[in-house]
């Protein structure tokens, strides 16, 4: 499942072919993905210029010159493929149509953008740009972890009095938007906080120290995504999947990487999801 850094990597990959470019033709090959597509989606996209390509949490938002934004959610298996870009970002020719090519945007520039999603947990919707916060997927989201509203004071007060484990609190999209299982595990590891610790019982200074750690974990992953994006562009124009190496996530039974720690990474289940951590140095 793509998390925030993967979605940001896809956004950055799409930006050169979408931002400032006009959609010459939109093709919508089925009535729905996870939810029905909005009414007349192809007609509402055709002829529109993309003013900006933004991200909110794990959603990509393409602001159109019609006053609407196209919301793109990659879901579990969604990927974007770009071909035929005359600017040379994605120089390869258009691929033959594939079975799960659900939405195709032909740009006026000659570039083609395909949304392919075999499992169909992804989504696309159109919403009024000026009123985006009213959309059902965006309405209850907390601040962006890389934005200014997510700071030490905010997190300390958001966690105050909470009896839930810190792991669950950080996964709560109302507290902070876009953090998923992998990067919460990685951030707690770097901050040396046990995922089991009650959020409201962690000293304010340790909570405050989590903020820059969360930001850095995400920025490191976005950096890694950027370099894999350059490789992928050359490979086949696919955006959305790349391999990362993690410090604790998926490393059950391996030696802790913290210098001087002799601990072993352990996996536990919290709220039906795996948490990886070192019980020796994460307290």
Provide the annotated active-site residues.
Answer: 2-3, 58, 273
Q: Does 263 bind Zn ion (CB under 5 A)?
A: yes
Q: Does 28 bind Zn ion (CB under 5 A)?
A: no
Using the contact rule CB under 5 A, the part of the chain among 4-12, 56-64, 147-155, 275-283 near Zn ion is 275-283
Q: Does 256 bind Zn ion (CB under 5 A)?
A: yes
Cβ closer to Zn ion: 200 or 263? Answer: 263
Using the contact rule CB under 5 A, the part of the chain among 71-79, 88-96, 244-252, 256-264 near Zn ion is 256-264
The backbone torsions φ and ψ at residue 172, rounded to the nearest 5 degrees and listed phi first, read -70, 110
Q: How do 112-116 and 79-83 pair as beta strands?
A: antiparallel
Q: Does 192 bind Zn ion (CB under 5 A)?
A: no
Cα angle: 218, vertex 185, 174; to 5 degrees: 70
Using the contact rule CB under 5 A, the part of the chain among 5-13, 197-205, 233-241, 263-271 near Zn ion is 263-271
Q: Does 281 bind Zn ion (CB under 5 A)?
A: yes
Q: Does 191 bind Zn ion (CB under 5 A)?
A: no
Using the contact rule CB under 5 A, the part of the chain among 12-20, 22-30, 114-122, 255-263 near Zn ion is 255-263
Least gap, CB of 225 to Zn ion (angstroms): 27
Cβ closer to Zn ion: 160 or 283? Answer: 283
Least gap, CB of 263 to Zn ion (angstroms): 4
Strand partners, 277: 266
Q: Which of 27, 66, 77, 258 binds Zn ion (CB under 5 A)?
A: 258
- How far is residue 83 from each of residues 17, 50, 52, 75, 93, measured CA to CA in Å? 10, 18, 20, 22, 6
Strand partners, 126: 70
Judge whether 80 and 35 are in contact, CB under 8 Å.
Answer: no
Supply 91's token pair: 């120089």
Judge whether 142 and 170 are in contact, CB under 8 Å.
Answer: no
Cβ closer to Zn ion: 273 or 280? Answer: 280
Cβ closer to Zn ion: 158 or 191? Answer: 191
Judge whether 19 and 11 are in contact, CB under 8 Å.
Answer: no
Least gap, CB of 276 to Zn ion (angstroms): 11
DSSP notation for 157-218: HHHTT--SBHHHHHH-TTTSSS--HHHHHHHHHHHT--TTSBGGGS-HHHHHHHHHHHHHHH
Q: Does 278 bind Zn ion (CB under 5 A)?
A: yes
Cα angle: 2, vertex 229, 150; to 5 degrees: 50
Q: Does 257 bind Zn ion (CB under 5 A)?
A: no
Q: Does 188 bind Zn ion (CB under 5 A)?
A: no
Cβ closer to Zn ion: 156 or 278? Answer: 278
For the chain, the C-alpha Rg in angstroms (whole number) is 20
- How far is residue 241 from each of residues 79, 139, 176, 189, 234, measured CA to CA in Å? 8, 28, 24, 24, 14
How many residues bind Zn ion, per CB under 5 A? Answer: 7
Where does this chain bind Zn ion (CB under 5 A)? 256, 258, 261, 263, 278, 280-281
């Amino acid at each position: 499942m793509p998390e925030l850094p993967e979605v940001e990597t896809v956004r950055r990959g799409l930006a050169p072919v979408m931002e400032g470019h006009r959609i010459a033709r939109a093709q919508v090959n089925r009535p729905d993905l996870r939810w029905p597509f909005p009414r007349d989606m192809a007609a509402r996209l055709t002829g529109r210029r993309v003013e900006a390509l933004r991200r909110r949490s794990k959603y990509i938002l393409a602001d159109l010159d019609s006053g609407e934004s196209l919301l793109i959610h990659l879901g579990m298996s969604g990927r974007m493929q770009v071909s035929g870009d005359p600017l040379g970002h994605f120089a390869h020719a258009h691929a033959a149509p594939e079975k799960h090519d659900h939405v195709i945007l032909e740009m006026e520039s000659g570039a083609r953008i395909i949304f392919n999603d075999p499992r169909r947990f992804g989504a696309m919707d159109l919403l009024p740009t000026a009123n985006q916060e009213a959309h059902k997927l965006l309405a209850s989201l907390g601040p962006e972890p890389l934005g200014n509203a997510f700071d030490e004071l905010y997190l300390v007060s958001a966690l105050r009095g909470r009896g839930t484990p810190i792991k669950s609190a950080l996964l709560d999209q109302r507290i902070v938007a876009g953090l998923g299982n992998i990067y919460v595990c990685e951030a707690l590891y770097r901050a040396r906080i046990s995922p089991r610790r009650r959020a409201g019982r962690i000293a304010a200074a340790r909570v405050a120290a989590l903020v820059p750690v969360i930001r850095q974990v995400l920025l490191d992953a976005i950096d890694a995504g950027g370099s894999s994006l350059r490789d992928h562009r050359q490979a086949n124009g696919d955006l959305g999947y790349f391999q990362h190496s993690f410090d604790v996530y998926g490393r059950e039974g391996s030696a802790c990487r913290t210098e001087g720690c002799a601990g072993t990474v352990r996996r536990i289940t919290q709220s039906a999801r795996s948490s990886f951590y070192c019980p020796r140095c994460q307290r």
